[in-house]
A = this chain, B = another copy of it.
Amino acid sequence: MKQSLGAKTLVYPTPVFVVGTFDANGKANVMTAAWGGICCSQPPCVAVSLRKATYTHGNIVARKAFTISIPSESHVRLADHFGLVSGRNVDKFAVSGLTPVKSELVDAPYVKEFPLIIECRLVHIFELGLHTQFVGEVMDVKAEESVMRAGRLVDIKKVKPLSFAPDTQEYYGIGDCLGKAFSIGEKL
């Protein structure tokens, strides 16, 4: 029996993206966002939605670029912190001890210590309400060698990305592999 829970932002799972930008003074900033995901295969694009009140929102509009750094389980405190404080008041790289790396492809920094990086140039801004959706074209993906399998594929069990559960407001890790896509369901 299903219960009606009303209109709310609830899907499972949602990602934990650490969005990197430069401000007007060139200071590197990061913020955490869970409203986003891949939105196109050709050109490869990623969407991330931010409230206008965030420091990152203005940075993306001005610089027309952002990165997504994917934190591992060991970075869960840092990822949460980056969603709690504003780059207006705090140098989040300084307080965290993480290292900003200036992308050579887009006008934005990424987190050196995080295992998986997506570098994006801004291609669309969609005003949806409280949130603005930024669509970035992926210019490159970078991964630590330590999270790769043979064949240059990125192993999610080595990345150990976080998922955010909106309803209970908790972070979760990734579980077991359940099967090969485009294969396990060939025969029902």
Contact = CB atoms under 8 A, between A and B. Distances in A.
A12 B171 contact: no
Interface string A127-140: 01111010101111
A41 interface: yes
A10 interface: yes
Q: What number of copies of this chain does the assembly contain?
A: 2
Nearest to A131: B40
A182 to B, nearest CB: 6
Given A5-B140, A155-B168, A163-B163, A39 B47 contact: yes
A125 to B, nearest CB: 11
Interface string A25-39: 000000000111111
A181 to B, nearest CB: 4
A179 B47 contact: no
12 contacts: A4-B142, A5-B140, A5-B141, A6-B141, A11-B38, A37-B47, A39-B131, A40-B131, A80-B186, A96-B188, A154-B167, A163-B174
